[in-house]
Structure 1
């Protein structure tokens, strides 16, 4: 084996061929210079830790020292060298290099191990100072070490590769005389938390220790006396506790009194207390901080009581409420499925606003505009995410008939909308968030692109509001042909807002001719490529506006007969009709996600289990429509008429790892196809069965469903509206869709829309899996969110490295040095590098290919983040045109590798955020081709050249628009943008909705 701790070019000297190492027991083994590097690295880490100074020079320094040792051994021609001789040479090399502290540590290490071999293990005893704990009443009692040992033993139970000693050592280092009981509980949690980067399973230990603190807080609050029940005691008391907790929550007005009318003996008997101990630390801390009910800051809701409260709230109108509540509880508490954050926040409470997303259209009058602000505030108050269509508002310079004045355009109104979103922050649980959409033909589009810039007139900026381009196909045709593009004010071309596909293109060309004849007052003609270039530049530099596609959203919408999709939502996965006005509709969607990783068995995707999960999940989501607390009448009217829901997925990356499928591969694209097909099939079938039980949704007649046109069939409608070469989508199927078509046509659907893949950023943390359909960002990183900073290590990778004997403190140091990437760690085998490639190491067209396969099964869309390691104008152009050609309805964030790398400092004792520092010689600015960061051009080989990535087959052929530097067709060839890497959207922003 080779080692990662030396420079890539190092050969560790020229050891004599066939040199053997004589072990202490007389046996022999092959000489391996890599073991010398590992031993030296451990010695340096023991003395210097993982500090920035150590990390930045350690790899080169250890390589040089190893070469010196190997060179010294090469001067001894004997066929065998004793292990003690090798260790002597290591000592000499350290001393000659004046690394005296490291050499001393290495000598002490040898002496200790020699004594251990001579005398055998001894039990060390330590005389610890007496520590007193300050109780809530101010009294002081000696620290109950037996209690600490009991709690710790319970936390360690059944977890491999963890032990009590390092946790106790860290605890003894931090406790002090007079520490409060709450501080002691927190210190124990932190003691385990600091060990996570060394052994990821300490995350579960930390979670169980946090659970002990939560049990004491909750039970003591309800009883009024200080109690510290352990897990075994709590398991026996859980049913009684849950009844007491519900009683208190109802008394103080937090929970709906209707929950008290359930057969509480029956539902509490179904509680699974052991599931509390299976929640990861990030998940439990998130639940503690943001989800559990509290009274003046004191949490009194335990995890299983929380899941039962949510389940009871969703079952409150079922015929057999108890049976359904237990069914829903099982699904939630097992993490096979998780409802969206608003549902978890509010289910079973006195204000059961359970819906996730709201879409509105703002009309071109002050009543509608200021009514839109009011609606935004009311919808956001109870955790709704907002998507606002602002296209109807007239543009800058348009005539105002009422005052005979001139309009200031849409931008000043967007400024107020952004400030409203900040002001209404959902009770401090998460930031209020809205996304403004504008069609590409709007005369204010260029100012709209600048909204998120940090320069210019701040009165025409919206620093906290998301923005998105609503792009018609006609615009991309003009870009492709290097044609002109005309901008209009919507008050003069009002019907463009409601037109799409061929009808839009024809009418748009008529308006262009009218403008040429002087019949339209406000218009401006630009080169389409120039506007496209500016759109991509702003997307890169500010992360906004996102690119979303108007025509596929409408042409494939099941509800074409009932209205028009004018925008998507906050996270670009919802595509529902909206209409302004007092009698209009605010679209509402109710979300939840299947944990795909929990449905992988020995033979791959467990479709039988998936069917059971999806059937129950769709029922839960449909219940939300009737239970929901609607803050505005337009939302209630729309939701009850159409009953849309959005079932999605999370844990896609984990599902790949469990099946040993590399994310950048044909097999990953195929799994994306088959898993989405199964999800779609069972969700549509479940909604149809609900229609047979409960009735069809009100606007079913005339829908695509009523005509037997399912999402997979609606691709033909898109293809008919596209010109030759503008759509390249795989059409393969594997399930019995003919039978389902007939069932839907005759039996009906309960829900107008059923499928949408949301980001799942927070609920995936709760379930302990990768979010949504995302590739892994890094294999080791610090996640920052509203609950704090958390060390996250890829557990699948750690498991594989342990099996191959490669997981040690040197590997941790290497992962930190290389920013969570395996690409340049020589010790890691090639198959693991391929399997655990991070988002920036995967050629982005693999992500587009997988998204294309999913999109064909979805009646709505997917939150599709895209990643570019070394972005350029050409690559951005190719990437987004490929997304359009591949049939994607929307895209979400563009993620780029910034010109900084994480600080390579130790996380021991702090678990703090890895802050960005200039990369210097140890790192690599994005896309400069050096071998420091693992990103080179569009690939990640670490060799200084672009990685060779096979083309992704789409419908049997490679994509016609590559993302590897080949010039695109026609007008965009050689497109170059002035990109500012420092402004790029970064991963894991705690203030970003996608990162929450």
Structure 2
């Protein structure tokens, strides 16, 4: 037996090892003793095929029919039943994909993944008909991002193939805008942006316009509203009174609501207000009203001074950002308790430790960080953007052990990919283009941690899990830095490298930051794994993604 016909009509080389592996998986699934049974059944299947298909090429279904017959003939009723049920389930999956408009799925994705791709990612014509397959989407990304290698004298075809294999194998996936926009006319590939909001009507509505452009292209935005004068403060030009930052946040929220109606991706914002802003109580309690600021995550920007006041149980000053003068005092512990209470009730606000972030910022000489991206994992300077990608840790396990060499290769390819994205990107604003290329921040992270633990037979809530996670993340960080140093030596360091923290230990560094851990909400669905570093919170649940119900 030399050839076999695939379901899509392609004729490929026959490989009996695939039959053996499939039988072995079913035997293990029903906890039967294996021994040499899988190979024995496989040999009999091949003999039956050679006898039945002497003058013609069998199809995949023909092979599977004979596997069923041989299993039953050998008295393996339990294994045969499991195999039949597996075939039925795979048939249902294929039919579901056809109903969703995907006739050809070389990546063997889950139905949920296909639903998400069909709704948001696969390219469509003007009538809304899907015009690319999931594999076509991956090829589109790989080609667009790999093309950057030409600029640096690299082998574009080799890089394209490497990127394709990595993503087609669901070992790594980039953030949503790269999936949607790579290789298209829009070409905006970053997920995370921070935009400044200054204390004038012109600047506030300028930031609103900039937010709209970022959201339209699939990005999310973070803001600090701490520079806006408090409610009731004087407005010199009109002799009126200011309405305060929370009222302006409502305008940003409503604009996001309108833009997301026609978009591929739900608009998302982070709103931050310093703990010493006079309107901090209104801000902390703002989301207790249902439907208010639905398109915002909010966080209180806390300083060392505030946290020390909480520890010492004393009052602290509220500072008017316009005059820089104290406007009153609050008991720090009362404010902290209110933050905790509101977070328990509504999930907001979070805490952003501003002084600590700026202490650890590798390029503190460039500017002060005031905000993060919508989910809080990427602190950024004003106008800065960052592109993210995540390694699927569940695919880094082989024979119940971590495949460190595969993980190392995936990290190296992931850093290469994300650095290329910076050059392949078309930024919505010239200010974003400049500072992003000056700092070249990337965020390589992970997803599938909980599934990896399951494959390693490690309880998620165990000491062993913590130690394993630390070992994995340290390995990823070290390999990421090595690759960024190598790229810095070959392609040049990021322009603001001089006087950065990296300059103390390295002669070159391509990226100001290399790692972060993102929630990976949608890309983990595509990869059919657990989200980010989160536990698997239920065996079965319903989730809504842009109006698409997923099981």
TM-score by length of 1: 0.46
How far off its partner does 1:615 sit? 1.0
Q: Which residue of 1 aligns with 2:516?
A: 756
Q: Which residue of 2 aligns with 1:568?
A: 372
Alignment check: 8 A CA contact 1:451 1:463 kept: no
> CA–CA distance in 2 between the matches of 1:615 and 1:423?
40
Taking a change above 3 Å as real, the CA distance of residues 644 and 158 of structure 1, as seen in their structure-2 partners, is farther
Q: Which residue of 2 aligns with 1:436?
A: 271
Q: What is the CA deviation profile of residues 642-691 of structure 1, one whole-angstrom value per residue up to 9, with x for unaligned ones?
A: 11111000000011111111111110110111011011011111111111
Q: Which residue of 1 aligns with 2:327?
A: 523
Alignment check: 8 A CA contact 2:391 2:444 kept: yes
Q: Which residue of 1 aligns with 2:300?
A: 469
Q: Which residue of 2 aligns with 1:280?
A: 110
Is 2:413 the counterpart of 1:616? Answer: yes
Q: Which residue of 2 aligns with 1:300?
A: 131
How far off its partner does 1:604 sit? 2.8
How far off its partner does 1:439 sit? 0.9
Alignment check: 8 A CA contact 1:396 1:407 kept: yes
Is 2:435 the counterpart of 1:638? Answer: yes
Deviates more, 1:622-631 or 1:596-605: 596-605
Q: Which residue of 1 aligns with 2:475?
A: 678
Does the residue aligned with 1:590 lie in a helix, a strand or coil? strand
Could you say what the CA RMSD is over the residues aligned between the two structures, in angstroms?
2.6
> CA–CA distance in 2 between the matches of 1:331 and 1:151?
29
Deviates more, 1:372-381 or 1:442-451: 442-451
Matches within 5 A, 1:185-334: 204-213=90-99, 275-276=106-107, 278-295=108-125, 296-319=127-150, 320-334=155-169
Q: What is the CA deviation profile of residues 43-67 of structure 1, one whole-angstrom value per residue up to 9, with x for unaligned ones?
A: xxxxxxxxxxxxxxxxxxxxxxxxx
Structure 1 residue corresponding to 2:348, chosen from 534, 540, 544: 544
Taking a change above 3 Å as real, the CA distance of residues 769 and 787 of structure 1, as seen in their structure-2 partners, is farther
Matches within 5 A, 1:475-486: 475-486=306-317
Alignment check: 8 A CA contact 1:204 1:281 kept: no
Q: Which residue of 1 aligns with 2:423?
A: 626
Matches within 5 A, 1:128-167: 153=61
Taking a change above 3 Å as real, the CA distance of residues 605 and 201 of structure 1, as seen in their structure-2 partners, is farther
Alignment check: 8 A CA contact 1:453 1:463 kept: no
> CA–CA distance in 2 between the matches of 1:428 and 1:153?
41
The structure with the larger Rg is 1
Alignment check: 8 A CA contact 1:207 1:280 kept: yes
Taking a change above 3 Å as real, the CA distance of residues 542 and 759 of structure 1, as seen in their structure-2 partners, is same
Is 2:360 the counterpart of 1:556? Answer: yes
5+ long unaligned stretches in structure 1: 1-149, 161-198, 219-228, 232-272, 494-519, 579-585, 709-744, 792-996
Does the residue aligned with 2:233 lie in a helix, a strand or coil? strand
Taking a change above 3 Å as real, the CA distance of residues 603 and 354 of structure 1, as seen in their structure-2 partners, is same
Count residues in correspondence. 474
Q: What is the CA deviation profile of residues 892-921 of structure 1, one whole-angstrom value per residue up to 9, with x for unaligned ones?
A: xxxxxxxxxxxxxxxxxxxxxxxxxxxxxx
How far off its partner does 1:419 sit? 0.9
How far off its partner does 1:602 sit? 3.2
How far off its partner does 1:326 sit? 1.1
Relative contact order (C-alpha < 8 Å, sep 6+): which is higher?
Answer: 2
Is 2:174 the counterpart of 1:339? Answer: yes
Taking a change above 3 Å as real, the CA distance of residues 157 and 611 of structure 1, as seen in their structure-2 partners, is farther
Q: What is the CA deviation profile of residues 598-652 of structure 1, one whole-angstrom value per residue up to 9, with x for unaligned ones?
A: 1122363222111111111111111111111111111111111111111000000
Q: What is the CA deviation profile of residues 297-340 of structure 1, one whole-angstrom value per residue up to 9, with x for unaligned ones?
A: 21121121111011111112322322211111111101110111
Q: What is the CA deviation profile of residues 551-598 of structure 1, one whole-angstrom value per residue up to 9, with x for unaligned ones?
A: 2211111111111111111011001222xxxxxxx0100010001111
Matches within 5 A, 1:857-896: none
Taking a change above 3 Å as real, the CA distance of residues 203 and 485 of structure 1, as seen in their structure-2 partners, is farther
5+ long unaligned stretches in structure 2: 1-57, 69-84
Q: Which residue of 1 aligns with 2:213?
A: 378
How far off its partner does 1:343 sit? 0.2
Structure 2 residue corresponding to 1:786, chosen from 543, 546, 551: 546
> CA–CA distance in 1 between the matches of 2:401 and 2:471?
11
> CA–CA distance in 2 between the matches of 1:487 and 1:683?
42
Q: What is the CA deviation profile of residues 855-902 of structure 1, one whole-angstrom value per residue up to 9, with x for unaligned ones?
A: xxxxxxxxxxxxxxxxxxxxxxxxxxxxxxxxxxxxxxxxxxxxxxxx
Q: What is the CA deviation profile of residues 382-416 of structure 1, one whole-angstrom value per residue up to 9, with x for unaligned ones?
A: 11011111111111233333334432221221111
Does the residue aligned with 2:271 lie in a helix, a strand or coil? strand
Does the residue aligned with 2:405 lie in a helix, a strand or coil? helix
> CA–CA distance in 2 between the matches of 1:784 and 1:200?
27
Is 2:431 the counterpart of 1:661? Answer: no
> CA–CA distance in 2 between the matches of 1:771 and 1:682?
23
> CA–CA distance in 1 between the matches of 2:320 and 2:86?
57
> CA–CA distance in 2 between the matches of 1:630 and 1:529?
43
> CA–CA distance in 1 between the matches of 2:386 and 2:112?
27
> CA–CA distance in 2 between the matches of 1:423 and 1:660?
46
Alignment check: 8 A CA contact 1:651 1:770 kept: yes
Taking a change above 3 Å as real, the CA distance of residues 289 and 408 of structure 1, as seen in their structure-2 partners, is closer
Is 2:155 the counterpart of 1:358? Answer: no
Alignment check: 8 A CA contact 1:315 1:324 kept: yes
Q: Which residue of 2 aligns with 1:410?
A: 245
> CA–CA distance in 2 between the matches of 1:528 and 1:151?
72
Structure 1 residue corresponding to 2:526, chosen from 766, 773, 788: 766
